[in-house]
Amino acid sequence: MRIKSIILAALMVMAFSMTASATSMTVKGSTTVLPIMQKAVEAYMKANPGISISVSGGGSGNGIKAIIDGSTDIAMASRFMKDKEVKLAMEKGVYPVPFAVGIDALVPVVHPSNTVAGLTRAQLKDIYQGKITNWKDLGGIDKKIVVISRDTSSGTYETWEGKIMKKERVFAGALLQASNGAVVQAVSKNKYAIGYIGYGYLDKSTKALTVDGIEGNPETASSGKYPVSRFLYVFTKGWPKGETAKFIMYLLHPKYGQAHAKAAGYVPLY
């Protein structure tokens, strides 16, 4: 695969670019990428006792902002940078470098008791625009739909807005949540709620819906068949060096970082 060749070439270049190792790193951003990062950081620090890596969520937008203002070494993002973010970075003399670290399926979820099994992209758009307001209009019970969305600083929101909303905004009546975990908690506690989360956050507390009759899973996400799939990224401030470069290499390695991506419920790159 072409992407595999590109990644392996990047690994070779980074191997020659590494300089003296740092002893600490900071990682901020996407709560979607967070489960991958937590597993990778735990294993990496165990294998390298002299290294300390702090990890925090806060959303893709906040992670990208942090890489631009220099308050993080690595930014996690479940979307690519926007043009205005790239422009701001260049104005500040920052040249963020992206690395894909996994593939994700963004899955609509409901309470396990909900009888609806799947929705179309058109139905999801109407729900999130406030045009469809009752589950009975979707083959469910006669109850008002409680719409739960991610906040606008989230890369998950950006993906949903682009692939489902077609660049139209989620209506003002939606309840905004700051993380995937918060969406899971909100939907699991409300029989009439609907939300959307990264594939790695699926568990028995919520029920996944199909989209256009297609189940979101590793196979459909990696093939591109599932309509709400996406790449997951990390960004560095310029070409990574030293310990940051070593850690990026670790994230891209098929036996290490990519194995952590799979263990976290996402799709490895290769």
- Residue identified by tokens 């979707």 is 138
Any domain includes 269: no
Task: Return the ∠ at Cα 75 (arms to 50 and 71), rounded to 5°.
Answer: 75
pLDDT at 230: 95
Name 19's Cβ contacts closer than 8 Å, sequence gap at least 6.
Answer: 241, 242
- pLDDT per residue as tens digits for the range 11-37: 545 444 444 444 899 999 999 999 999
Residues 120 and 213 in one domain: yes
Inside any domain, residue 270: no
* Residue 195 within any structural domain of the chain: yes
130: in domain: yes
Stronger pLDDT, 129 or 13, i.e. the higher one? 129
Yes or no: say if 11 and 236 are a contact pair by the CB < 8 Å rule. Answer: no
Tokens of 180: 């995937």
pLDDT, average across residues 258-270: 93
Between CA 218 and CA 226 the distance in angstroms is 9
Res 246: pLDDT: 96
List the domain range (segments joined by +) for residue 153: 105-223
Q: Is the pLDDT of residue 10 over 70?
A: no
Predicted confidence (pLDDT) at residue 130 exceeds the cutoff of 60:
yes
- Give the whole-angstrom CA distance, residue 49 versus residue 61: 31
DSSP 199: G
Which among 232, 239, 234, 238 has a CA at the least distance from the CA of 89?
Answer: 238
Task: State pLDDT tens for residues 49-108.
Answer: 999 999 999 999 999 999 999 999 999 999 999 999 999 999 999 999 999 999 999 999
Q: Let me know whether 167 and 188 are in one domain.
A: yes
Q: From 201, 191, 128, select the one nearest 162 (Cα to Cα).
A: 128
Check which CATH number belongs to the domain holding 40 and give it. Answer: 3.40.190.10
Parallel/antiparallel/unpaired status of strands 175-177 and 146-150: parallel
- Does residue 256 fall inside a structural domain? yes
Residues 146 and 85 in one domain: no
At 23 the pLDDT is: 82
CA dihedral 176, 33, 226, 188 (to 10 degrees): -40
**Amino acid letter, 76:** M
pLDDT at 7: 52
Task: Name the token pair of 112.
Answer: 């396990």
Band (167; pLDDT cuts 50, 70, 90): confident
Q: How many domains does the chain have?
A: 2
**pLDDT tens, 178-200?**
999 999 999 999 999 999 999 99
Can you spell out the DSSP letters for 14-60? HHHH--SPPSEEEEEE-TTTHHHHHHHHHHHHHH-TT-EEEEEEE-H
Same domain, 140 and 84: no
In this prediction, residue 70 carries a pLDDT of: 95
Same-domain check for residues 11 and 50: yes
Q: Are residues 116 and 68 in the same domain?
A: no
Whether residues 127 and 182 share a domain: the answer is: yes
Query: What is this structure's pTM?
Result: 0.83
Residue type, 74: I
- Distance, in Å, from the CA atom of 253 to the CA atom of 48, rounded to the nearest integer, reads 16
Q: Evaluate whether residue 268 is within a structural domain.
A: no
The answer to whether the CB of 35 falls within 8 A of the CB of 265 is yes
Per-residue pLDDT tens digits for 131-159? 999 999 999 999 999 999 999 889 999 99
Q: Is the backbone of residue 59 left (phi > 0), alpha (psi -120 to 50) or beta?
A: left
Indicate whether 194 and 117 sit together in one domain: yes
Pick from 231, 220, 214, 2: nearest CA to 117? 214
